[in-house]
Chain A
């Protein structure tokens, strides 16, 4: 079993829909990243959070440390949101290494 599990693996939505991507993990962590990767492109960090909720534009990320679960929400989705969204958890004390989920492939259709 992977230490970081994401669901769903694939998601197709219509433009304007509210989208939720989930991440569950089984290790003790100090923080959690949400990353975005466009096809053939690089990886961009969207959020890093250790508690509560963060919002940036149409993106909202929440984390529940007790339940070892995080969600990434996209409001009013747009075709340009189409990408792979990756959850990664930070562990390892001072060296702070990341364990990555396998990603959620999101396609937003116009």
Chain B
């Protein structure tokens, strides 16, 4: 299994441009998440999905959109990029365990985005 893959690894955008960060997992996990990591801060949840066709906002959704048309893919769309969106973005997936404390989140390698 490749696990959770993300593309691109790095990207520089100009203010106002748009782009899509790709995330794919091959573990048939229901739950998928997008986080951003800013220096000195803990990861913040942007959006999450509990299955194909179902998405919901996290703590910091403004400026982003997601879709979940398949179990495998969970792309994150940035419209009208702003310098405040400069961050490292991590996608993660999880298969919920039968017992509390038995499931694990798997993280992608991250996308480092700079908006100038």
Within 8 A of B (CB), among A27-49: 30-31, 33, 35, 41-45, 48-49
Q: Is the CB of A96 within 8 A of B56?
A: no
A102 within 8 A of B: yes
- For B1, the chain A residues whose CB sits under 8 A away are none
Complex: A103 Cα to B88 Cα, angstroms: 15
Complex: chain A residue closest to B88, CB-CB: A40
Which of B41, B100, B102 counts the most A-chain CB atoms under 10 A from its CB?
B100
Complex: A50 Cα to B102 Cα, angstroms: 9
Total number of A residues with any Cβ neighbor in B under 8 Å? 27
| Known A-B contacts A42-B107, A43-B107, A103-B42; A95 and B101 likewise in contact (beta carbons under 8 Å) | no
- For B40, the chain A residues whose CB sits under 8 A away are 102
A101 to chain B, nearest CB (A): 5
Q: Is the CB of B100 within 8 A of A45?
A: no
Q: Is the interface of A mostly helix, strand, loop or mixed?
A: strand
Q: Is the CB of B42 within 8 A of A42?
A: no
Q: Is the CB of A42 within 8 A of B41?
A: no
Q: Is the CB of A102 within 8 A of B42?
A: yes
Q: Is the CB of B42 within 8 A of A96?
A: no
Complex: chain B residue closest to A31, CB-CB: B101
Complex: A57 Cα to B35 Cα, angstroms: 29
A21 within 8 A of B: no
17 CB contacts below 8 A, A to B, read A30-B101, A41-B109, A42-B90, A42-B110, A43-B90, A44-B107, A45-B104, A45-B105, A45-B106, A50-B100, A50-B101, A88-B43, A94-B50, A98-B43, A98-B45, A98-B105, A100-B44
Q: Which residues from chain B sit less than 8 Å from chain A, CB to CB? A: 31, 33, 35, 40-45, 48, 50, 56, 58, 90, 92, 94, 96, 100-110
What 6 additional pairs, Cβ within 8 angstroms, besides A42-B108, A98-B105?
Answer: A45-B105, A95-B48, A96-B94, A96-B103, A101-B42, A103-B42
10 closest A-B pairs by CB:
A50-B101, A100-B42, A43-B107, A42-B109, A100-B43, A31-B101, A102-B42, A45-B104, A50-B100, A30-B100
